[in-house]
Amino acid sequence: MRPIQATVHLSAFAHNLQIAKSRAPKAKVMAVIKANGYGHGLLNAALGLKGADGFAVLSLDEALALRSAGYQQAILLLEGVFSADELEAVSQHHISIVVHSDAQIDMLLNAQLPHPVSVHLKLNTGMNRLGFVPAQFSYALARLTHCTNVANITLMTHFATADEALGIAHPLALFNQVTVGLDLPKSLANSATILRFPEAHADWVRAGIMLYGSSPVATETAASFDLKPVMQLNSKILAVQTLEAGDSVGYGHQFTADKKTRVGVVACGYADGYPRHAPNGTPIAVAGKLTRTLGRVSMDMLFADLTDISDADVGAPVELWGTQVPVDAVAQAAGTISYELLCAVASRVPVKVLD
């Protein structure tokens, strides 16, 4: 069996959830566990985050899997229903839905449901992805208010720049202006907003990447927020090559040694979810010591510099990311974000769950 393995630490989930609760003590926490729990496994994430007040997912199948597993918390479909025939199951299993379009309101108005459905009405405050623009919002709210298939309404938006220097001042002011006088629950804050902007915590916060132990803010480390990594991606050294000055390694000879260099061949590649575009120098740990990757990532293998780790040989343990190597550091080196790396872990990588 190939030695690569992802380990999911449930205690880290619980710790990070507590950070979210402590940052927003007056709000309920909705744990975002879409995309197969950001690559950690939907039910693994739900188990680790069982103390959350609710879960947010993308698809009805995910919501039904949570209900089948016995979770009774609020469950929210972040893009709502995709067709009218999903409303029956939504109603039957008491699943909440985001409403972001007139078509979805039409579905609710025309449906015959066993129970009214809780909805989150989405205002577009500048993301320009989903939601009603301010001029359409009051009419959408009126239609939902008079719909017998709607149980209650929460007002929501999503901030496009909560993780950047621009912040949320303008979209928050717009949201407050559009919703002034409306005595309804509100859901505004993603992870970056939870950690940076307490004025926008409102009634519900939607914690995402922070629950997985990654920083939502590029200029701040996860450790600076006291977040703990949930996933460790580990493997081992398969072989060791010794390069002389002028020798190269890997496809395209992307690394050429300028001195005698020991190279460890690691059992992990882009087919396992490691980024192919990670350059020379991406951080990696071998035998408990930090080092760097060399050369181009292959489908099933990549290369680590063992020159200064004399005791590392075939079978030496490797951490691709986790406690020694933050996933954010790998993502930054590869020119991407941790969300992509975590979600991209391949199904062929076995997952071990630890308390």
pLDDT band at 303 (very low <50, low <70, confident <90, very high): very high
**pLDDT per position as a tens digit, 191-208:** 999 999 999 999 999 999
For residue 262, the cross-strand partners are: 242
- List the one residue out of 66, 100, 105, 63 whose CA is nearest residue 84: 105
d(C-alpha 244, C-alpha 46), whole Å: 50
Give the contacts of 9 (CB within 8 A, at least 6 positions apart).
Answer: 48, 228, 229, 230, 231, 232, 354, 355
Within its chain, how far is the Cα of 298 from the centroid? Answer: 25
Q: What is the pLDDT of residue 234?
A: 98
Give catalytic residue positions: 34, 251
Q: What is the pLDDT of residue 90?
A: 98
On whether the CB atoms of residues 189 and 205 are closer than 8 A, the answer is: yes
**pLDDT per position as a tens digit, 235-246:** 999 999 999 999
On whether the CB atoms of residues 302 and 268 are closer than 8 A, the answer is: yes
For residue 264, the cross-strand partners are: 240, 304
Instruction: Record the tokens describing residue 50, joined without a space.
Output: 């069982």
Q: What is the pLDDT of residue 30?
A: 98
**pLDDT per position as a tens digit, 233-285:** 999 999 999 999 999 999 999 999 999 999 999 999 999 999 999 999 999 99
Pairing of strands 28-32, 283-286: unpaired
- The pTM score is 0.96
Place of tokens 């993301």: 127
On whether the CB atoms of residues 168 and 157 are closer than 8 A, the answer is: no
**pLDDT per position as a tens digit, 31-55:** 999 999 999 999 999 999 999 999 9
**pLDDT per position as a tens digit, 314-332:** 999 999 999 999 999 999 9
85, exposed or middle or buried, with CB in 10 Å at 0-12, 13-18, 19+? exposed
CA dihedral 283, 284, 286, 288 (to 10 degrees): 80
d(C-alpha 123, C-alpha 87), whole Å: 22
- Cα-based distances in Å from 317 to 11, 24, 242, 303: 23, 39, 19, 13
On whether the CB atoms of residues 157 and 193 are closer than 8 A, the answer is: no
